[in-house]
Amino acid sequence: MNKRKLLTKQQITELKAKAHHLNPVVMIGQKGLTDAVICETDAALRAHQLIKVRVLGDDREERIEMCNALLAATESQLIQHIGKLLVLYRENEEEQEV
């Protein structure tokens, strides 16, 4: 469906810098990755392109699995994963800015 172009290292670095001051707008809680979380993440990406997501839970492998599932469900790209925070990016078709 969506043909995502891969970001260059320079673009990823710029997006990390832009994301630094952002607060998480989506939180994956104890119920895990639900349809509501996916819908909220999709809406946030549509509105902002670059967002932070907080993943609760102490199991690192489970957080990575949720991250990968969320990326696939929202057709977004992982910019950064530090601890329990994810930085996701999805370019809007209307706005071609990075």
Q: What is the DSSP letter of 22?
A: P
In sequence order, which ranges of 20-82 are alpha helices (DSSP H)? 35-48, 60-74
Mean pLDDT, rounded, for 82-87: 96
Tell me: pLDDT of 41 over 90: yes
12-39 confidence digits (pLDDT tens): 999 999 999 999 999 999 899 999 999 9
- In this structure, are strands 50-55 and 24-28 parallel, antiparallel, or unpaired? parallel
Q: Give, in words, the CATH class of 12-89.
A: alpha beta
Tell me: pLDDT of 98 over 50: no
Note the pLDDT of residue 92.
85
Q: What percent of the chain clears pLDDT 90, i.e. is strictly above it?
A: 84
